[in-house]
Amino acid sequence: MTALTLSTSAAPGLRADAIVIGVAKGAKGPVVAPGAEAVDKAYDGKLAGVLETLGASGAEGELTKLPAPAGFKSALVIAVGLGTVPDDGTGYGAEALRRAAGVAARTLGGAKKAAFALPVEDAAAVGAIAEGVLLGAYSFDVYKDNGSTAKAKADKAPLAEATLLGGKPRDAAHKAALARATAVSEELNRARDLINTPPNDLTPAAFAAIAQRAAKEHGLKIQVLDDKALTKDGYGGILGVGSGSAATPRLVKLSYTSPGADKHLAFVGKGITYDSGGISLKPAGHNETMKCDMSGAAAVFAAVVSAARLGLEVNVTGWLALAENMPSGSAVRPGDVLRMYSGKTVEVLNTDAEGRLVLADALWAASAENPDAIVDVATLTGAMMLALGSRTFGIMANDDAFRSAIHEAAEEVGEPAWPMPLPEHLRKGMDSPTADIANMGERMGGGLVAGLFLREFVGEGITWAHLDIAGPAFNEGGAFGYTPKGGTGSAVRTLVRLAELTAEGDLG
Ligand code: BES
Ligand code: MN
Ligand code: ZN
């Protein structure tokens, strides 16, 4: 990952491949953002005009390259758009900085060193720029090294070093913001790696082994239930989904405990390492990206490790419900009835509605510890993607205040999210003539139906929320801002923020 440092040096004397500056959209054309004064001065104060000549407007996501002025030790200036100039006194928002830094870091692939001269008003800006750089510089080339030369590899390597100008290396708040951004971004990028890893390599057992290594490294308690243990304890949902695959399922419990904590959060992640649909097989065109169906478990994993690295004063338990959904002679059939860990029976009407089955067991297991709240994260329904598009996740909950708090937390960290209802009338669509409930209901509002199903497996009186990240978990389009193609790490930053708020006593 990119190595980050804070520096109060002046831009001209810095030896780097490029200096990154901000340009914003003013009423009368582009405006050079604070932080780039020295660069502007070297252009005789005419940098805004130069940028305008080059076609720059300051719009978000825009990138303009120009040669560095004479006397500079760097060859290149990269101007990134920050969007509209903020109203007096409000400053540039964290998300605008994060995205601009991400755009620059992304185009700096292959470079050794860059200096970021973006507006740094406070420690929050330092954290946002650092996150933008670390997340934007991400690349996944593990499977691309066959036959390529060392030079070709170096050209694709993420930006090696970044210096944040205006960040104060001796300021406690600036240092803390940098450390937080580094820990969370590293774990988030690891979640992206897991999501991008092909499903023939990332089996449930392989994922569990990775969690075991991380637990050792960060002093977390871990318990891995394999298929034998799951059978003994009656985890019918996880076992049913996993029964069609030669790669057996796992339930991983990862616990971070803080000596000072009096609150306990449980995070539950859907970890379908590949979703073929099972006997209700997905058609071609719908299964090529289904390695991403463990994104919820990856997010939970990253959030628990982040909480540990940040030493948050809150206990966090992560539950990873890992299985591969495959068709075979031993696979669960439409019509089968599963006895779930909670004791309830479920008639499986569609084996492609598998996420709710593994989550149901994990939610019930999480409930047994009576945490203060449970949040599950899942690429659960195509319906949620149809409703909210590919960048926004849906939030459902059994508590209005908790749903709003999560929405606020998501907004604060720059993750688009939106509250969704759990309409009671949709419950009866899941009535089964044979079992306690069916795993499918009405087609309309399919994302909400799935949420209602999950609610049945949350322990009495426990505050619970469900994040359906089917849209934003995997970016099938081009990279934008600090979001790469492929696995995005959706929900990681929201979960970490929830843990922080809980530790600070600002949640529940
Ligand atoms: N993993 C899918 C949902 C999904 C779709 C995630 C597209 C990401 C992108 C899930 O297991 C699924 O197949 N859901 C079905 C449920 C239906 C059979 C009730 C769906 O949404 O079609
Ligand atoms: Mn499915
Ligand atoms: Zn699925």
Residue 508 CA to residue 504 CA, distance in Å, equals: 10
Nearest C-alpha to atom 16 of ligand 1 is from which residue? 353
What is 3-166's CATH topology? Leucine Aminopeptidase, subunit E; domain 1 (3.40.220)
Q: What are the start and end residues of each CATH 3.40.220.10 domain in the chain?
A: 3-166
Q: 404 and 496 in contact (C-beta within 8 Å)?
A: no
Cα(440) to centroid of ligand 2, in Å? 11
170 is catalytic: no
Cα(197) to centroid of ligand 1, in Å? 20
Q: Hey, is 42 helix, strand or coil?
A: helix
* Residue 328 DSSP class: S
Residue 1 CA to residue 3 CA, distance in Å, equals: 6
Res. 89: pLDDT tops 90: no
Name residues contacting ligand 1 (CB within 6 A). 275, 293, 350, 352-355, 379-383, 385, 440, 446, 470
Alpha carbon distances (Å) from 89 to 92, 93, 271? 9, 11, 45
Ligand 3 is a single-atom ion; what residues have CB below 5 A from it? 272, 275, 293, 355
Domain covering 186-503: architecture: 3-Layer(aba) Sandwich (3.40)
Candidates 164, 106, 91; CA nearest to 475 is 106
Q: 20 and 103 in contact (C-beta within 8 Å)?
A: no
Q: 107 and 49 in contact (C-beta within 8 Å)?
A: no
Residue 441 CA to residue 33 CA, distance in Å, equals: 53
The mean pLDDT value for 285-301 works out to 98
pTM beyond 0.95, yes or no: yes
Q: Ligand 1: which of 381, 474, 488 to mutate, judged by most atoms within 8 Å of the beta carbon? A: 381
- Partners of 394 in the beta sheet? 418, 468
282 is catalytic: yes
Helix 446-455 vs helix 355-367: angle between axes, to the nearest 10 degrees? 30
Q: What are the start and end residues of each CATH 3.40.630.10 domain in the chain?
A: 186-503
| Catalytic option among 98, 106, 270, 356 | 356
Nearest C-alpha to atom 5 of ligand 1 is from which residue? 382
The mean pLDDT value for 454-462 works out to 98
Residue 309 CA to residue 449 CA, distance in Å, equals: 36
Query: Residue 148 — very low, low, confident or very high, per pLDDT cuts 50/70/90?
Result: low
* Nearest ligand 1 atom to alpha carbon 384: 21
Cα(436) to centroid of ligand 2, in Å? 21
Alpha carbon distances (Å) from 152 to 93, 207, 418? 37, 30, 42
Q: 2 and 162 in contact (C-beta within 8 Å)?
A: yes
Ligand nearest to the CA of 350: 1
pLDDT over 90 percentage in the chain:
94
Task: For residue 84, count CB atoms less than 10 angstroms from its CB and return exposed for 0-12, middle for 13-18, buried for 19 or more.
Answer: middle
**58-78 residue pLDDT tens:** 999 999 999 999 999 999 999
* Nearest ligand 1 atom to alpha carbon 382: 21
Look at residue 147 in the predicted model and tell me its pLDDT.
60
Residue 239 CA to residue 330 CA, distance in Å, equals: 11
**227-250 residue pLDDT tens:** 999 999 999 999 999 999 999 999
Ligand nearest to the CA of 286: 1
Res. 144: pLDDT tops 90: no
Nearest C-alpha to atom 22 of ligand 1 is from which residue? 382
Candidates 390, 415, 405, 401; CA nearest to 470 is 390
What sections of 85-223 are H helices per DSSP? 94-107, 123-136, 150-156, 172-196, 204-218
Cα(135) to centroid of ligand 2, in Å? 29
Look at residue 309 in the predicted model and tell me its pLDDT.
98
* Mean per-residue pLDDT over the chain, rounded: 96
Res. 146: pLDDT tops 70: no
Res. 150: pLDDT tops 80: no
Look at residue 508 in the predicted model and tell me its pLDDT.
64
Q: How many Cβ atoms are within 10 Å of 311's Cβ, its own excluded?
A: 11
Query: Residue 87 — very low, low, confident or very high, per pLDDT cuts 50/70/90?
Result: confident
| Catalytic option among 168, 282, 344, 455 | 282
Give Cβ neighbours of residue 216 (< 8 Å, ≥ 6 apart).
Answer: none
Strand-strand pairing, 76-84 and 63-67: antiparallel
